[in-house]
Amino acid sequence: MSPHRTSTSLGAGRRLVVKIGSALLVDEADGTIRRDWLAALVADLAACRNLGQEVLIVSSGAIAVGRQHLGLDRRPLHLDEKQAAAATGMIRLAHAYQEALAAHSITVAQVLLTLDDSEDRRRYINARNTLATLLRFGAVPLINENDTVATDEIRFGDNDRLAARVAAMVSADTLVLLSDIDGLYDADPHANPTARLIPEVHEITPEIEAMAAGTAGGYGTGGMVTKLAAARIALAAGCRMVIADGHPLHPLARIDQTTRRTWFIPAASPQAARKSWIAGTLAPAGSIIVDAGAARALASGKSLLPAGVTAIEGDFGKGAAIVVKDGRGRELGRGLSAYSAADARRIIGKKTGEIEDCLGYRGRDELIHRDDLALHQGASE
Ligand code: GLU
């Protein structure tokens, strides 16, 4: 359990996903990247890391940079033009981040995701593992949608929701949406001077939804409606989310110094939310039968290793949700398999050092990692 889950201080977070909107980073008029703003943001990110926080960036701006570079004036752009603009702009965006982060000796790693990567089980678990590995090596993942290959139907289209999916994927405890508005208002602040900013939200009620829809640009990309959709994803994953004004220099440092921001506070921790998602919401695709020693190891909080497995039932892919049973057929819990059923069958009963010889590649040591395992109450008795 994260003791800081309900805090409204950015400093309380341990793993932060920071989403940066195009309008902050890119000068719409000439498509240039605002280097001073970026340098100040990156100084804030470096300060977070010095406090021991892990940081992932989700940045927009590829299309805004690329369209100017290619001289595409049409509004709105056609899909193929957007994709060409994204391809042109992303490399420039990545360069700018690399340069800015290098000034603090921080390594940046570009990760382009499509909606499929968060929906499809196998790709999801791969993306999650890659991001975790990058964090372990101290790199800062720089994430954007893979606009160049995504077609309209499978596009996120907006990075607010992409950032929330990433936060859920890596079990982040904090999602920061740096935006051109400083928070959620109870009425449209442009039209209504008495509109009040809501500093804290604990539940997304129909009333809150009505407030978002009433904001100028509410339904547009990056509008308040997509921000609430992001909040819903984040809260369900046990992740706090804050909407804050990104315009000033050092926008992250500012969050803890102002009350003009909106925090969304979840009811559960990311770990608890992930486990209840694994335990409850997935249709299991097969089963793994474990011996008594493995059952005891699981009950004491360990991962499931192939050595303790006696049989595999069903046909499932890597990343699938499966049931874990003991020798008497009692369901101990559910988890996400790090191997397909076919590969899992080949490594049953094998020691960690034998996995590579059996499969011809070096996969994970665990068949189900303990973070991906939700044991039923009483399964340990
Ligand atoms: N992926 C788009 C880009 O980088 C941005 C989408 C958004 O701003 O929400 O240009």
Cα of 62 from ligand 1 centre, angstroms: 6
What size, in residues, is the chain? 381
One domain, residues 243 and 364: no
| Domain of residue 24, CATH code | 3.40.1160.10
Query: Please, what is the average pLDDT of the chain?
Result: 90
Query: How many Å apart are CA 46 and CA 88, to the nearest integer?
Result: 27
Note the pLDDT tens digit of each residue in 188-229.
888 888 999 999 999 999 999 988 887 755 555 668 889 999
Q: Which residue's CA is the closest to the ligand 1 atom numbered 8?
A: 60
Probe residue for ligand 1, chosen from 28, 72, 92, 159 as the CB with the greatest number of ligand atoms within 8 Å? 159
Give the chain as a 3 state SS string: CCCCCCCCCHHHCCEEEEEECHHHHEECCCCEECHHHHHHHHHHHHHHHHCCCEEEEEECCHHHHHHHHHCCCCCCCCHHHHHHHHHHHHHHHHHHHHHHHHCCCCCEEEEEECHHHHHCHHHHHHHHHHHHHHHHCCCEEEEEECCCCCCHHHCCCCHHHHHHHHHHHCCCCEEEEEECCCCEECCCCCCCCCCCEECEECCCCHHHHHHHHCCCCCCCCCCHHHHHHHHHHHHHCCCEEEEEECCCCCHHHHHCCCCCCEEECCCCCHHHHHHHHHHHCCCCCEEEEECHHHHHHHHCCCCECHHHEEEEEECCCCCCEEEEECCCCCEEEEEECCCCHHHHHHCCCCCHHHHHHHHCCCCCCCCECHHHEEECCCCCC
pLDDT at 312: 96
Q: Which residue's CA is the closest to the ligand 1 atom numbered 9?
A: 158
Cα of 79 from ligand 1 centre, angstroms: 13
Probe residue for ligand 1, chosen from 25, 59, 63, 160 as the CB with the greatest number of ligand atoms within 8 Å? 63
Atom of ligand 1 nearest to the CA of 226: 9
| Residue 276 in domain | no
One domain, residues 266 and 286: no
Atom of ligand 1 nearest to the CA of 90: 4
Q: Is the pLDDT assigned to residue 9 strictly greater than 50?
A: yes
Cα of 381 from ligand 1 centre, angstroms: 50
One domain, residues 344 and 365: yes
Query: How many Å apart are CA 321 and CA 165, to the nearest integer?
Result: 18
Atom of ligand 1 nearest to the CA of 66: 10
Atom of ligand 1 nearest to the CA of 59: 4
| Residue 343 in domain | yes
pLDDT at 2: 47
Q: Which residue's CA is the closest to the ligand 1 atom numbered 5?
A: 60
pLDDT at 258: 93
Note the pLDDT tens digit of each residue in 84-104.
999 999 999 999 999 999 999
Cα of 128 from ligand 1 centre, angstroms: 21
Instruction: Please choose, from the candidates 94, 45, 84, the residue with its C-alpha nearest in 3D space to the C-alpha of residue 255.
Output: 45
Q: Which of 241, 270, 299 is the last residue of a domain?
A: 270
Probe residue for ligand 1, chosen from 20, 22, 112 as the CB with the greatest number of ligand atoms within 8 Å? 22
Q: Which of 209, 235, 270 is the last residue of a domain?
A: 270
- For the ranges 218-232, 268-282, 352-366, the maximum mean pLDDT occurs at 352-366
Q: Which of 229, 248, 270 is the last residue of a domain?
A: 270
pLDDT band at 47 (very low <50, low <70, confident <90, very high): very high
Query: How many Å apart are CA 284 and CA 332, to the nearest integer?
Result: 13
Q: Which residue's CA is the closest to the ligand 1 atom numbered 6?
A: 158
Cα of 42 from ligand 1 centre, angstroms: 19
Query: How many Å apart are CA 304 and CA 324, to the nearest integer?
Result: 10
Domain residues for 344?
Answer: 282-375
Judge contact between 146 and 114, C-beta under 8 A: yes
- For the ranges 68-82, 202-216, 341-355, the maximum mean pLDDT occurs at 341-355
pLDDT band at 1 (very low <50, low <70, confident <90, very high): very low
Structure tokens at 5: 């889950």
What is the pLDDT averaged over residues 342-358? 93
Judge contact between 231 and 164, C-beta under 8 A: yes
Pocket of ligand 1 (CB under 6 A): 22, 60-64, 86, 144-145, 147, 158-159, 221-222
pLDDT band at 274 (very low <50, low <70, confident <90, very high): confident
Probe residue for ligand 1, chosen from 19, 28, 60 as the CB with the greatest number of ligand atoms within 8 Å? 60
Query: How many Å apart are CA 104 and CA 327, to the nearest integer?
Result: 54
| Residue 131 in domain | yes
CA atoms within 13 A on the CB side of 333: 30
Judge contact between 141 and 59, C-beta under 8 A: no
One domain, residues 310 and 265: no
Atom of ligand 1 nearest to the CA of 222: 9
pLDDT band at 270 (very low <50, low <70, confident <90, very high): confident
pLDDT at 281: 54
pLDDT at 159: 92
pLDDT at 369: 94
One domain, residues 42 and 127: yes
Bridge partners (DSSP) of residue 18 are: 57, 176
Query: How many Å apart are CA 250 and CA 46, to the nearest integer?
Result: 11
Of the listed ranges 49-63, 83-97, 106-120, 186-200, the least confidently predicted one is: 106-120
Structure tokens at 205: 């009620």
What is the pLDDT averaged over residues 169-195? 91
Q: How many structural domains is the chain composed of?
A: 2
Note the pLDDT tens digit of each residue in 297-332.
999 999 999 999 999 999 999 988 899 999 999 999
Non-local (6+) Cβ contacts of 43 within 8 A are 104, 250
pTM, two decimal places: 0.85
One domain, residues 241 and 112: yes
| Residue 277 in domain | no
| Residue 34 in domain | yes
The angle at the Cα of 317, spanning 311 to 321, to the nearest 5 degrees, equals 75
Structure tokens at 341: 């059923």
What is the pLDDT averaged over residues 271-292? 84
**Whole-number Cα distances in Å, 373 to 24, 274, 276, 298:** 40, 9, 10, 9
Query: How many Å apart are CA 223 and CA 212, to the nearest integer?
Result: 8
pLDDT at 278: 82
